Structure 1
Amino acid sequence: MPILCRPAVWVPEFIVSRDETLDLCRRLHAGHEKLSLVLRMIENTGVRKRHLIQPLEKTLQHPGFEARNRVYLSEARSRVPGVVCEALASADVAAEDIDAIVFVSCTGFTMPPLTASMINAMGFRHDTRQIPMAQLGCAAGGAAINRAHDFCLAYPDANVLIVACEFCSLCYQPTDTGVGSLLSNGLFGDAIAAAVLRGRGGTGMRLERNASYLVPDTEDWISYDVKATGFHFQLDKRVPGTMSMLAPSLRTVSHAHGWDASALDFYLIHAGGPRILDDLSHLLAVEPDAFRHSRATLTEYGNIASAVVLDALRRLFDHNLPEGARGLLAGFGPGITAEISLGTWSVGPRTPARVTAGTENLPATDITAPPLAEPTSLVR
């Protein structure tokens, strides 16, 4: 069974604290009729600080969608390679060992996808499969893991690179003053995460089952209104209560695997906000501390969208789980969608990433791109 290895996570150097966020909200929206409610909601997120891809003064400006998307492309091309190189090293694989790249992001757009730049510039084989996903929002971290798992089930010796690149601050819209928009301004942060799913060997979460679930008729609860000014995030007030609709799906998938969702050894849950974690703790009848890795991500980085579950997994690696520990990973996002993975912890012996030159279904090729002399500078 494939093993999800230790993720690499990068956050930008520009930081905005909770106090700065609250002061900014008071200053920019002094006359807002629901200001006290918004301030209370931001305080209740538990987010202590967030990291931004640009200084705060630039983040607050809106030079237009085109200019913002140029920032997204420039920063992604500059920053992704270093994170990817760290993830490859943690998994003890090289770029030429990767058979597919799943790239997820909902905060910028490019065609061809950034996977093409990565393949051309970082030494990945030219027959590497590209699986870009752009419309699953925060659920995309779980979806990326699940699609990588599916690929490894089809090609058992394959290795898949997963990359999540989210610059949520580039979606800030100064004219959006609804309560949901103002809350999101104090909740979301920027990050890049990457991890390798090894078809053979490695240490990490051994994936055993995955599933997806869509809550009927909730398409407009989390969405983008795409305008000339870019992506306008829309958050329905009913979203915080969605765990009552999603928790049964976690139980159903666990039961189908012969497990009790209330009696697992670890949980890696998308930290969209504190109520999601509080409600799920109650609905699954597990101690709040079971979600401590997700809470740590929320506290230190905010909601970093699709990168949350990978950062929570990174934190889990520091706790020396025993062989066979059972766990659940779940990403939640627009739809309302849940992407769920079940697996056990593997601390087995190191095994070469590929024991033969290739596999029957995925033949090896010697058509490779030359490696970068400087791994942190993708083609710009």
Structure 2
Amino acid sequence: MPVLCRPAVWVPDNMLTMEETLALARRLHPEHPRLPLVLRMIKNTGVTKRHLIQPVEDTLKHPGFEARNRLYGQEARRRIPAVVEQALRSAQLQARDIDAIVFVSCTGFSMPPLTAWMINELGFRPDTRQIPIAQLGCAAGGAAINRAHDFCRAYPDANVLMVACEFCSLCYQPDDDDIGSLLSNGLFGDAIAAAVLRGIGGTGVRLEANAAHLVPHTEDWISYEVKSTGFHFRLDRRVPGTMNVLAPALHTLARTHGWDATQLDFYIVHAGGPRILDDLSHYLRVPPTAFRHSRATLTTYGNIASAVVFDAMRRQFDEGLPDGARGLVAGFGPGITAESSLGSWTTAEPPWLGNQLARRPKSLVASGSSDRRH
């Protein structure tokens, strides 16, 4: 079974504190009739600071969607290489060992995808598979892990790189003053994350099962309204109520695998904010401390969309786990969609691993009913 290795995470130098966010809300919306409510909701997020790809005064300007998307591409190309290099180093692999790249982002757009640029510029093989995912929002971190897992089940000794690039601040819309938009202005941050799923060997989470679940008829609860000015984030107040539906889906996944979701050793979850994490804790029947790494990411980086799962996982690596510890990884986002997986901690590598990697072929093929290398 493939192993999810230690993620690498990067955040920009430009920082915005909670106090600065509240002051900006007062300065930009002094006559807003619901300002006291907005300020209280921002405080309740618990986000002490966030990191932005631009200084805040530049973030508040809107030069147009074209200029913002150009900046997205420029900064992604500038910052991704170092994060990828660190993730490869943690997995003890090189670019040529990667067989597929899953790239997730909901805050910018390019065609061809940035995976093509990565293959051309960062040393990946020309036959590396490209799996870009652009529309799953915060759920895309869990989706990246699950699609990588699916790939490794089809090609058992393959290695997959996952990259999440989220510059949420580039979606700021100065003219949107509904409650959901003002709350998101005080919640989201920017980050890039990367991690490798190794088909053979490695230290980390050995993935054993995954599942997806869509809550019917909730497409407009978390969404983008696409206009000439770019992406306008829409958040329905009913979103927190979805945890009583999504928690049973997590219980079902665990039960199908023969596990009890209430008795696991670690939980890496992206659920948007502290209130939703509290609700999930209640419905999943686990203590609030089970989501401590997700809360730490939210507190220090804000909601960094698809990168949250990887940063929370990085924190779990830092804390450490004993061999065999069992856990759950899940990301929730637009749809309403849940992408979740189960895995167990491993530090063991087969004694024959070195020889296996030394002989490892360079391309993937399918033969008959089974997939193999040649």
Shift of 1:219: 0.2
Q: Residue 360 of structure 2 is aligned with which of 357, 360, 368?
A: 357
Pairing of 1:149-168 with structure 2 (within 5 A):
149-168=149-168
Aligned to 1:376: none
Aligned to 1:140: 140
CA contact (8 A) 2:222 2:336 kept: yes
Return the letter of the residue paired with 2:39.
L
Instruction: State TM-score, norm by structure 2.
Output: 0.96
Taking the aligned partners of 2:223 and 2:294, their CA distance within structure 1 comes to 23
Aligned to 2:320: 320
Return the letter of the residue paired with 1:93.
L
Taking the aligned partners of 1:340 and 1:51, their CA distance within structure 2 comes to 27
Taking the aligned partners of 1:240 and 1:329, their CA distance within structure 2 comes to 19
CA contact (8 A) 1:271 1:308 kept: no
Aligned to 1:203: 203
Cα distance, 1:56–1:15 mapped onto 2, change above 3 Å: same
Pairing of 1:132-281 with structure 2 (within 5 A):
132-281=132-281
Shift of 1:284: 1.4
Taking the aligned partners of 1:316 and 1:202, their CA distance within structure 2 comes to 16
Cα distance, 1:204–1:137 mapped onto 2, change above 3 Å: same
Taking the aligned partners of 1:354 and 1:106, their CA distance within structure 2 comes to 35
Q: Answer 1 or 2: higher relative contact order, Cα 8 Å, separation at least 6.
A: 1
Aligned to 1:51: 51
Partner SS for 1:242: helix
Pairing of 1:116-135 with structure 2 (within 5 A):
116-135=116-135
Pairing of 1:55-66 with structure 2 (within 5 A):
55-66=55-66
Aligned to 1:8: 8
Return the letter of the residue paired with 1:140.
A
RMSD: 1.3
Taking the aligned partners of 1:285 and 1:364, their CA distance within structure 2 comes to 44
Shift of 1:283: 1.1
CA contact (8 A) 1:271 1:295 kept: no
Cα distance, 1:312–1:341 mapped onto 2, change above 3 Å: same
Shift of 1:86: 0.3
Partner SS for 2:318: helix
After superposition, the C-alpha distances for 1:61-80 in whole angstroms (9 at most, x for unaligned) are 00000000010000000000
After superposition, the C-alpha distances for 1:166-200 in whole angstroms (9 at most, x for unaligned) are 00000000000000000000000000000000000
Taking the aligned partners of 1:282 and 1:29, their CA distance within structure 2 comes to 35
Shift of 1:318: 1.3
Taking the aligned partners of 2:308 and 2:206, their CA distance within structure 1 comes to 19
Return the letter of the residue paired with 2:215.
V
Return the letter of the residue paired with 1:152.
C
Taking the aligned partners of 1:276 and 1:336, their CA distance within structure 2 comes to 13
Pairing of 1:15-30 with structure 2 (within 5 A):
15-30=15-30
Taking the aligned partners of 1:254 and 1:61, their CA distance within structure 2 comes to 46
Shift of 1:349: 3.1
Shift of 1:286: 1.0
Taking the aligned partners of 1:162 and 1:9, their CA distance within structure 2 comes to 12
After superposition, the C-alpha distances for 1:106-138 in whole angstroms (9 at most, x for unaligned) are 000000000011000111000000000000000
Taking the aligned partners of 2:163 and 2:59, their CA distance within structure 1 comes to 24
Shift of 1:360: 5.9
Cα distance, 1:363–1:265 mapped onto 2, change above 3 Å: closer
Taking the aligned partners of 1:327 and 1:283, their CA distance within structure 2 comes to 17
Pairing of 1:262-341 with structure 2 (within 5 A):
262-341=262-341
Partner SS for 2:261: coil
Partner SS for 1:223: strand
Shift of 1:18: 0.3
Q: How much identity, in percent, do the aligned residues show?
A: 72
Aligned residues: 365
Return the letter of the residue paired with 1:302.
G
Pairing of 1:32-51 with structure 2 (within 5 A):
32-51=32-51
Partner SS for 1:146: helix
After superposition, the C-alpha distances for 1:296-337 in whole angstroms (9 at most, x for unaligned) are 000000000000000000000112211110000000000000
CA contact (8 A) 2:211 2:341 kept: yes
1:90 paired to 2:90: yes
